[in-house]
Amino acid sequence: MENDWKVIALIYSGKPDPQWHLTEMQADHFLNLFSRAADSRNDVVIPSILGYKGLRLLSHKKQFLIYNGTITLLEKGLSSSKKDEGKNIEKYLLKTAPKKISDLLRQLNIL
């Protein structure tokens, strides 16, 4: 469970959002990208809009919110944020989606 990483694409309002799991290698790569990213003063604010609202990445103890060029780590009640230049980390995570979900993401112009 400790190494189980789940990505949730925040798309829907009513239906449960599509979600998938990262492999250990994908999770390590994400953590590596995150650790190397520049600090950000602003935390991610998940927007109250209909449509795509970013990504949630969940592990046993950590939660990342990824949206619009910022990534926020929520852990033990504290938050720290990094810049996601060019939304490259968000794009990387979106590309890890399995085919069925990536087809949906393309259909919705998210990918």
**Site for other proteins, rule CB under 8 A:** 10-17, 46-51, 53, 56, 74, 108
Q: How far is the CB of 61 from other proteins (least distance, A)?
A: 14
Q: How far is the CB of 73 from other proteins (least distance, A)?
A: 14
Q: How far is the CB of 63 from other proteins (least distance, A)?
A: 8
- Residue with the two structure tokens 């990262």: 22
C-beta of 33 vs 59, nearer to other proteins: 59
